[in-house]
Structure 1
Amino acid sequence: MTASGLLEEIADVGRDGKRGGYSRHAFDAPEHDLRTWFVERAQRLGLDVETDRNGNLWAWWGAPGPDAVVTGSHLDSVPGGGAFDGPLGVASALAAVESLQRKGFRPVKPFAVVVFAEEEGGRFGVPCLGSRLLTGTIDADKARGLRDQSGVTFAEAAVKSGLDAERLGADPDRLALVGRFLELHVEQGRGLVDLGRPVAVGSTVIAHGRWRFSFEGQGNHAGATLIADRADPMLPAAETVVAVRRLARTHADARATVGRLVPTPGGTNVIASTVDLWLDARVPGTGTPELVEEIRQAAGAAAEAEGCRLAVTRESYSDDVVFDAGLRRDLGGWLGDPPELPTGAGHDAAILSGFVPAGMLYVRNPTGISHSPEEFAEVDDVETGARALAEVLERLAA
């Protein structure tokens, strides 16, 4: 059982015929099928699988206990995402366990493979929701009230999947079991391509967050309403999209994106009554809130000029993350001094890093493209990454 072979087993799950790539979201049918696949595969390896109060899956090699070595990633995707973001880390973890078992290794320390729920925020909007709930870095009531585009709350979806909505939230007893956490992930950029290397160690994650800008105007008839009589929220929303790019250019190494814009009611011949716009902003250091405030001011001025109202809601935010120095040093020594790379992409490892020593391994992506059907990794690189993960896990759990 190789990591690339495991990825082949799930290659048809959640294919998106409209967008291309994959759409696998928390507690939907494709993600449920992937969770079932993971449980079956883990049980074949003799691992004991349990679901925690927040919907995260834990596959234990031996009895759970403190100072556990934990590895894993996620199985959900962004809408129309690639095949590797998330599942590569899960498949590589399972393949690493099997390779260690074949050579007769048995962990001295407790050992687990974890699958975190709703890492991408593709359904309920908040990234790394499973790890945020585990660590208590999101309010449980806020999480319960999150809604998908159909109006279903996270609590309702969780209950339908067999969870107790009242128990969602911080899980300090489980978190206390984790001694070290290591996540393998496809690289979401060109660092390894440019360096000509197959594997890297993660160094930092840029501070990032998501904000919802809600513009409220006056819904009306597109043909019967004179231009002078309109309060059209689509105009300040459009001006905000342009302002995001313009203002991001004034901050060093900033990344700011509007990837989703939803008018209500959404008719072709209807002036929208409201327009919701989601901003993803990432600036190294402490610059993200400053950039967002500049965007808010520009959006507010555009809304006022059109006779509309604006409300801004912060949906998530994480400061800069520097992965554990001791673990990075160990990874570098054990793996023959691979390069260290920063990233602008968020990960569950970054959430856990505030509570336990955490680190990341990246596998080369020859396209340099991620969150897209063009995301890719060569079979040889996938297997090199899985072998590197097995090497590290053996040393950590010995």
Structure 2
Amino acid sequence: MGEADSGSGRDRVAVVRLTLTDFRNYAHLRLDLDPRPVVLTGANGAGKTNLLEAVSYLTAGRGMRGAQLDSVIRLGAEAFAVAATISRPIGPDEPGEIDIGTGYRRGDSGRVARVNHEPAPAVGTLAELVRALWLTPSMDGLFTGPASDRRRFLDRLVLTLDPGHASRVGDFEKAMRQRNRLLEDQRPDARWLDGIEQAMAELAVAVATARAQAMARLTDALNERAGGVFPDPDIAIVGDFEATLDGRAAVDVEAEYRAALQGARRRDAAAGRTLLGPHRCDLAVAHRARNVPAALASTGEQKGLLIALILAHARLVREASGGVAPLLLLDEVAAHLDDMRRAALFAEILALGSQAWMTGTDRALFTDIAADSQGFEVANGALSAI
């Protein structure tokens, strides 16, 4: 067993009951669990990843796949629901439980959320109750793909430390869309533009500051455990707007950005979008030992860098949450690791005390963590305990 007591559940948030209704290939499923890591094995297409995706909807955002909500509803149904009983520490020695749920009906504007069977004011409320990080095969191209993918990854990391971050990002993007629409008019209302740009300036500084603070803390977490089995990443946020922060007073940066937006109205109108702001930044990641950008590292090295980032951030979230480990959703994470790195990953999960959800087609890949986890075989939308 690892450094943490993987059976107690007192040092983590854990799903102890998961109920799905018309979610992907599951017409109805109830899964009762304990706080230990969860291993899901089965053939491709059996529904393993769907279960991880369902768990990812227990927090804020668009889920680990970023899918359109209509596509998540089971074929032939009109709505889906995901509900869970969450075990979480509420005191030094006593874990508590809370019931949360979310769902969506075709034609609605978005997901709804419930907490202890009462409507929540917003889906963002879930981010205050459940913190989750995930790693999926589609993220293997994170370092070579568009900057927008890395920004979403960055914002997911920030959200697990700062539950209000998602609403600030959303409010900034909403204000920016309003500005873009106004600029389509030949004679936009200048006073309305002034007000929108003022709001954008305040939100831009708040968003960029939260990102910068999170990355500084993550850098410290990475440095504390440098030289391990997985390659050490160097991280930085790069962007023209971010360069204007650099220790300056927020009010000065807000005034400068507001003036820049005002001066760029004609240029942005011609471009059809806002060309300066925190929505244009990128997350730069480098392989420290080789001193090369992650995009130029090998496929295996890129996977290792991603795992190192996720594990370091999980440690950071646990520290920031008073010792409460986050959920980890690791889809097909073990398939392309050698024996040494696979064992190191499992040891780290147990040391974190995280209820990690892991999937794979080969049960033998999880031998090193079998005694400290709960295993299920997934087939045709049904689960059987191993």
TM-score, length-normalised on structure 2? 0.29
- Higher RCO (C-alpha 8 Å, min separation 6): 2
Greater helix share, structure number:
2
TM-score (norm 1): 0.29
